[in-house]
Structure 1
Amino acid sequence: MSSMLSRRPLGGTGLAVAPLCAGGAPLGSMPQQFGYRTPAERGIATVRAVLDSGINFLDTANIYADGGSERRIGAALAEIGGPPDDFVLATKVDRDAEGNFSGDRVRRSAEESLERLGVDRVPLLHLHDPEHISFEEAMAPGGAVEALFELRAEGIADHIGLAGGPVGLMSRFLREAPFEVLLTHNRWSLLDRSADDLVDEAVERGVAVLNGAVFGGGMLARGPGESGKYAYREADEEILDRARRMHEACERHEVPLAAAALQFSVRDSRIASTIVGTSRPERVAETIRLAEHPVPEELWAELLPLAAPPECWQW
C-alpha cells in the first residue's frame, strides 16, 4: 500500500485517516473562488475516484457551492449504499446567507448537510469560519459552540472540530472549548508560516491538526506564472517573488512545485492529514503521486528559507 494511503490516528478521536484528505470545495461549482466551473457529473465522478483510491477521508462544508458539494458527494455515496465502514466523512456547520450563525442556525446547517449527504450522522463536524461573528457571540449560552457540542451529545456527530482562519482567534477557541480537531488553511505552507505556533499549541492540547490550502489557492500548484493569487486574492510582489524563486529551485531539481508544496505539509509530523481539493477524477491519483514524488534534502534546504516575511502572512 502507498504510504499516502496508510492510516494515521486523528488525535484522540479514535479515528484513523489517510495522510491525504480529499477537499470538497471544488466538487461543487465555485467559479467566483476557483475561477472555473465544475459540472455536476464531473464532481460526482471525482468523488467516485476518491472512494476507489484508498483515501478514506473527505472534507466538505454546508456552504460550499450553496450545498452543491454535499449534494454531489451524497449522489456518489448513494451509488454504493453509503460511506464505507472505515470512511471518515467530515462536514462543517455554516452561517446562512443572511449571516445568521446562531445556535439554531448551527442545528439547521447540520440537518441540511445530513440530508444532502444521505447520512444520519457524520464522524466529524466542524464549526466553520467563526471569525464571521464575535467570539463572545459564538461562545454565549445557546450560541454556535454550545449547539455544536449538543449535536455530538445527540449522536449527530461523533467528533467536533474547529475550522477557520485567523490564528489568534483559533487559539482562543482552543483554550476555551474542548474541540478535538483543528483545521487551519492558507497559513501553513511553503510561503506562509502564520500557523506554526497554533499548530504547536493544538498538538500540546491533544487536538488533531488538519492543514488545508497548501497550494494557496493555486499559486503553489501551477506556479506564479499561471496564478497571481495567494489565498484567493491578488498576491503582493513579495509573495510573487518568493514563489518565483521556489519555482526556479524546484525546476533545478526536477521536482514539481506542487509536490514540494504538498509534502511541506505531509512530512510535518504534527499534521494528521493534509486536505487537497480536487475537481477532476484524474487529479486524485495525481495528488497521490505528487505526495510520493522524491524531494531531495538539498531542495528543502533551498525552499524553507524562502518563506515570505511575517508581514506578508495571513495571520
Structure 2
Amino acid sequence: MGTSGWGPSKSGESTVDRDARIGTLADAFFAGSLPTNFIDTSNEYGGSRSEALIGQAMKRAGGLPAGLVLQTKLDRRLSDDDFSADQMWRSLEQSLERLGVNHLQMLYIHDPEAIGFELAMAPGGPVEALIRMKEQKITDFIGVSGGPVGMLQEFVETDHFDALITHNRYTLVDRSGNALLDAAAHRGMGVNNAAVYGGGVLTGDPRFAGTYGYRPIRPEVQASIDAITALCTEAGVPIGAVALQFSLRDPRIHSTIIGATALARLDDTMAEAAAVIPEELWANIDKIVPPASVGLDA
C-alpha cells in the first residue's frame, strides 16, 4: 500500500475529514485486517503528513504488529535540493520522530537522480550515510528508489543495496525496466514495482488521458494503449486489472506498490488483482508494446 497521497486534500475536503478518512485506512492496516501486510512511505510524502498519519495509527495499535512491514525513504531538502549526508541524517531523524520508532525494517535513498550516481556514491555522500545507518542497526535493510533505469542499474550493480523500487518503467506499455529487474533478481534483491498504471492512464480513467508517467504521452504510447484497451474490451476485462496483474505475475517482482487513500480504493484494487485474465491476452499485448526508443528514459 503506497501512501504518497496521504497529505493535503485536493478536493476541498477539510483536514479533519481527510485525517479521519486516512486514519480509518491506517488503523485497518495496523489491525492486520487488510489484504496487504506492507506499507510504503517517505519523508516527503504528503508534505511529510504521510509519516505522521502512519505514526499516529501505529501508536493507536500499540506499535508495529508482527508480520507487518513498514518502509520509508530518506529525502533531499526540497527547498534547496540539499542531498548531503547531513541532510540524510536529518531526514532520518524526522522520519523516526513522526513514525514514533527508533528502528526501521527498510530504508531507501529516494530519487537520487536529483544529483546523479557519481555524487550520490561519492565519499561522504548520501549513500555512505545510508550504509552507516544499516551498520549502526538503525535499519535492517537498505534500498534505492528512483526513476531512470540506467541510473538505478548502476546503483544495483554496486551490490550495496538489499532492495529496489522502480516506477513507471515496467508496465504494460514501458518494458524499459526489464534488464534492471534481471540485475536485481540475479543479486537476490527485494523488488518493489510502483506506478504500474503509468500515473493513472492505464486505469482507463479519462481524467488521466493525455499523460504517461506524469508527462505528456507520446503518440506511439497512446496508440499502444488504445490497442491494448480494445483487446481488453474484447476479452471482457478492465485494462486496470491487466495493468496490475502484469506486475503481480512477474516472479522477479516481490511487491507491487499501489496508492490508496480510502478503503474503497483498496477494495477496487483487490478486485482487479483477482480478475480472471485469459492467457492469450498477454501474448497479444506483447505484440503491440511500443519500442524502447519511446520509453520514459529515451
TM range (shorter): over 0.9
Decide whether the 8 Å contact of 2:199 with 2:208 is kept in 1. Answer: no
Q: Give the distance between the partners of 2:46 and 2:207, measured in 1 at CA.
A: 28
Cα shift at 1:103: 0.7
- CA 1:177–1:226 in structure 2 vs 1: closer, same or farther (change >3 Å)? closer
| Most deviating of 184-193 and 283-292 | 283-292
Q: What does residue 22 of structure 2 align with?
A: 43
Cα shift at 1:69: 1.1
Q: What does residue 12 of structure 1 align with?
A: none
Structure 2: gaps (5+ residues): none
RMSD: 1.8
Structure 1: gaps (5+ residues): 1-21
TM-score by length of 2: 0.92
Decide whether the 8 Å contact of 2:235 with 2:281 is kept in 1. Answer: yes
Whether 1:83 and 2:57 are equivalent positions in the alignment is: no
Cα shift at 1:40: 2.4
Q: What code does the residue aligned with 2:59 have?
A: A
> Cα deviation per residue 1:226-254 (whole Å; 9 max; x = unaligned)?
53211112212222221122112111111
Decide whether the 8 Å contact of 1:125 with 1:159 is kept in 2. Answer: yes
> Cα deviation per residue 1:96-155 (whole Å; 9 max; x = unaligned)?
021001111111111111111121111000011101013222112221011001111222
Question: With CA pairs under 8 Å and 6+ residues apart, which has the higher RCO, 1 or 2?
Answer: 1
* Mapping for residues 38-187 of structure 1, pairs under 5 Å: 39-51=18-30, 52-97=33-78, 98-187=80-169
Cα shift at 1:289: 1.8
Decide whether the 8 Å contact of 2:245 with 2:273 is kept in 1. Answer: yes
Whether 1:252 and 2:240 are equivalent positions in the alignment is: no
Q: What does residue 264 of structure 1 align with?
A: 246
Q: What code does the residue aligned with 2:36 have?
A: I
Q: Give the distance between the partners of 2:124 and 2:208, measured in 1 at CA.
A: 46
Whether 1:192 and 2:174 are equivalent positions in the alignment is: yes
Q: Give the distance between the partners of 1:161 and 1:271, measured in 2 at CA.
A: 15
Cα shift at 1:36: 9.0
Decide whether the 8 Å contact of 1:50 with 1:284 is kept in 2. Answer: no
Q: What code does the residue aligned with 1:44 have?
A: G
Decide whether the 8 Å contact of 2:166 with 2:194 is kept in 1. Answer: yes
Q: Give the distance between the partners of 1:240 and 1:80, measured in 2 at CA.
A: 45
Q: Give the distance between the partners of 2:8 and 2:229, measured in 1 at CA.
A: 29
How many residue pairs were aligned? 291
> Which 4+ runs in 1 deviate beyond 6 A?
35-38
Q: Give the distance between the partners of 1:119 and 1:78, measured in 2 at CA.
A: 10
> Cα deviation per residue 1:57-109 (whole Å; 9 max; x = unaligned)?
01111111220111111122122112211111000001002100111111111
Q: Give the distance between the partners of 1:308 and 1:298, measured in 2 at CA.
A: 19
Whether 1:290 and 2:269 are equivalent positions in the alignment is: no
- CA 1:311–1:299 in structure 2 vs 1: closer, same or farther (change >3 Å)? same
Counterpart selection for 1:201 from 156, 173, 183: 183
Cα shift at 1:304: 2.1
Cα shift at 1:305: 2.0
- The secondary structure found in structure 2 opposite 1:92 is strand
- The secondary structure found in structure 1 opposite 2:108 is strand
Q: What code does the residue aligned with 2:47 have?
A: D
Q: Give the distance between the partners of 2:112 and 2:207, measured in 1 at CA.
A: 34
Q: Give the distance between the partners of 1:114 and 1:178, measured in 2 at CA.
A: 23
- CA 1:116–1:226 in structure 2 vs 1: closer, same or farther (change >3 Å)? same
Q: What code does the residue aligned with 2:2 have?
A: G
Decide whether the 8 Å contact of 2:6 with 2:22 is kept in 1. Answer: yes
